[in-house]
Amino acid sequence: MLKRFISKFKKSPDASNHQADIIAHQDHAINPDRVSENAVKVLERLQRANYGAYLVGGGVRDILLGQSPKDFDIVTDATPEEVHGLFRNSRLIGRRFRLVHVVYGRDVIEVATMRGNHDNAKGKHQSKKSDSGMLLRDNVYGTIDEDAIRRDFTINALYYDISDRTVHSYAGGMQDLKKRRLRLIGDPATRYREDPVRMLRAIRFAAKLDFSIEAKTAAPIKELAPLLLDIPAARLFEEVLKLFMAGYAHKTFALLEKYNLFAQLFPHSQQCINENDHYRNLVNFALINSDKRVAQGKSLTPAFLYSVFLWPCLLETARTLRKQGVPDVPAMHQAATEVIGNQQAHTSIPKRFTIPMKEIWELQRRLERRQPRQLDSIIGHSRFRAAYDFVLLREQNGEKLDNAGLWWTDYQEQHPEALYQKPERPRYNRNRSRNRSDDGPHRISKGRSGSGSSDSGRDGPHRVSKPADDGPHRVSKRSRKPHRD
């Protein structure tokens, strides 16, 4: 078995120190039935075509930990073009990090080609780094041994071979998994410089898996946190969704603050939170509530999350404007535009979320005032539920809103027919709309990434950032280093 494995892949001369511990099927806890049918199809087709193919990353890690994987990632020694040639239902994505998506309806299986050692690559295959050490391009292909050490954490360098059901554990991944320890492969500072998003990934996995972060892995984070300023805002938006929408938001927030990372993502919010604990409590209550919603299988919307994170900034900015003589209502409007504009420079927010955010904020005043003539239009508003939840949240945080929350709870019970109903989609449109993200009041699409952009969201192994997305709503206030490509 071992011989077959070794002959499958050519070893590079310097990979000899990075060989796998091979764990036979009776010695690990992966039940092949837990691997998705589509991932199995992809693995088997690649192997039948005589390519090496493994399940890797979260798919292996989470099954070993008894959790349900979010997605299944596959790695192969076939080039992206060869993979694309094998699957008619596939598309090549990414330029700086080429990958293949094999698409089965809403289910997308990501197939990456094993990444190799940069130093041996020549010409157009060379990887490219910025002055700060960030990888700008990484299409150097290699062997499984090389691929393993290019992955981020040891627990993500576990490869499952479906044909003989062995697990190939690199860099002590299996031991770390047993010790519930998150450890970066290689020198942590260098690896964070290559891709600063790894700092966010460390926090995400520590919170999600309830793992400790090994001291050497944790040590450079606080100091290197500002490197996140070099990451395109669109990619950071996707990371924020992964950090806060997966059911571990409360713990994640504490860790992000501890490691100086929240300040890189939401600098103005962090400043307001530092100045006033009332705001920190609001965020904490919101995140505890949203974790509960996820645990109950309820939906969440990024618009609600962002409206909470930016609420302190909104109030503070409006206060400043009022001091300058701007009347109440225009001050809130102007503040909303300014606050969202400033945040776009850090984590871009698609327009389909900024509009509901503004509506949630705007409805706060109307929900508090309860003007009789407006009641029907308020309760029939498409953001009523989210705005009402926001009122409850503010009351939970000790604000005295003259019992507005309770009042609206009663009003809804008495007028269930007046509540906003999502319009049915016309039948002829069914197929087209099925794959689109549905951003109803509390809804985040579970299929593909929240922004709908296949390139900005998915971080395949060693995926590096795409160029900053300076969309029409972008106010680029961050100082950025130019990307050279």
Task: Report the catalytic residues.
Answer: 71, 73, 152
Q: What string marks each residue from 446 to 485 as x (binds ligand ATP by CB under 6 A) or -?
A: -------------xxxxx----------------------
Long-range contacts of 177-181 (CB under 8 A, 24+ apart): 177/61, 177/64, 177/65, 180/209, 180/210, 180/211, 180/212, 181/211, 181/212, 181/213, 181/214
Which residues pair with residue 93 across a beta bridge?
99
The three-point CA angle 338-343-346 to 5° equals 150
Residues 49-78 that bind Mg ion (CB under 5 A): 57-58, 71, 73
Tokens matching residue 451: 């922004």
Torsion region of 171: left, alpha or beta (phi above 0 gives left; psi -120 to 50 gives alpha): left
Element (H, E) at 168: strand 166-169
Nearest-angstrom CA–CA distance, 310 and 313? 5
Question: Which region, judged by CB under 6 A, interacts with ligand ATP, from 14-22, 66-74, 302-310, 437-445?
Answer: 66-74
**Which partner in ligand ATP, Mg ion, none is near 257 (CB below 5 to 8 A by kind)?**
none
Collapse the DSSP code of 187 into the 3-class scheme (helix H, G, I; strand E, B; otherwise coil) and give the result: coil
**Shortest distance (Å) from residue 318 CB to ligand ATP:** 37
Specify the residue, 62 or 338, whose C-beta has the smaller distance to Mg ion: 62
- What Å distances lie between residue 192 and 1, 216, 217, 243, 269, CA to CA? 36, 12, 10, 18, 24
Residue 2 or 295: the one with the smaller Cβ distance to ligand ATP is 295
Chosen from ligand ATP, Mg ion, none, partner binding at 152 (C-beta under 5 to 8 Å by type): ligand ATP
**Binding status of residue 58 toward ligand ATP by CB under 6 A:** yes
Contact between 107 and Mg ion by CB under 5 A: the answer reads no
Taking a C-beta distance cutoff of 8 angstroms, is the pair 449, 458 a contact?
yes
198 binds, among ligand ATP, Mg ion, none (CB under 5 to 8 A by kind): ligand ATP
* Closest to Mg ion by CB, 30 or 336: 30
Helix locations, 91-230, DSSP H:
144-150, 173-179, 188-194, 197-209, 215-218, 221-224
- Residue 195: contacted member of Mg ion, ligand ATP, none (CB under 5 to 8 Å, by partner type): ligand ATP
CB of 202 to Mg ion, least distance (A): 15
Task: Name the minimum Å distance from CB 153 to Mg ion.
Answer: 12
Q: Using CB under 6 A, pick the residue from 25, 45, 70, 443 that binds ligand ATP.
A: 70
Q: Which of residues 234-273 bind ligand ATP (CB under 6 A)?
A: none
User: Nearer to Mg ion by C-beta: 161 or 230?
Assistant: 161
- Rounded to a whole number of angstroms, the minimum distance from the CB of residue 126 to ligand ATP is 18
What does the buried/exposed string (b/e) look like for 95-110 if buried means 16 or more CB atoms within 10 Å of the residue's CB? ebbbbbbbbeeeebbb
Give the total of residues touching ligand ATP (CB under 6 A): 16
The residue among 239 and 338 lying less far from Mg ion, judged by its C-beta, is 239
User: What is the smallest separation between the CB atom of 159 and ligand ATP, expressed in angstroms?
Assistant: 10
User: Closest CB to ligand ATP among 161 and 195?
Assistant: 195
Per CB under 6 A, does 198 bind ligand ATP? yes
Using CB under 6 A, pick the residue from 84, 151, 181, 448 that binds ligand ATP.
151
Examine residue 193 and tell whether it contacts ligand ATP (CB under 6 A): no
- x/- contact string, 296-325, with ligand ATP (CB under 6 A)? ------------------------------
Query: Any idea which residue has 């700008």 for tokens?
Result: 136
Contacting Mg ion within 73-92 (CB under 5 A): 73
Q: Is the sign of the CA dihedral 220, 225, 230, 236 positive or negative?
A: positive
Nearer residue to ligand ATP within complex by CB, 448 or 463:
463
DSSP, collapsed to helix, strand or coil, labels residue 345 as coil
Residue whose CB is less far from ligand ATP, 98 or 383? 98
Residue type, 377: S
Cβ–Cβ < 8 Å for 445, 438: yes
156 near ligand ATP, judged by CB under 6 A: yes
Going across the sheet that includes 53-56, the strands are 21-23, 166-169, 158-161, 53-56, 73-76, 107-113, 99-104, 90-93
Provide the mask over 92-131, with x wherever binding to ligand ATP is found by CB under 6 A and - wherever it is not: ----------------------------------------
- Cα three-residue angle 436-439-442, rounded to 5 degrees: 140
CB of residue 459 to Mg ion, shortest distance in Å: 9
Of the listed pieces 138-146, 151-159, 396-404, 407-415, which binds ligand ATP according to CB under 6 A?
A: 151-159
Output phi, psi for 158, to 5 deg. -110, 125
E strands present in 2-157: 21-23, 53-56, 73-76, 90-93, 99-104, 107-113, 128-129, 135-137
Phi and psi torsions of 276, nearest 5°:
-150, 115
User: What's phi and psi for 134, nearest 5 deg?
Assistant: -80, 135
Q: Which does 462 bind (CB under 5 to 8 A by kind): Mg ion, ligand ATP, none?
A: ligand ATP
Site of interaction with ligand ATP (CB under 6 A): 57-58, 70-71, 73, 151-152, 156, 195, 197-198, 459-463
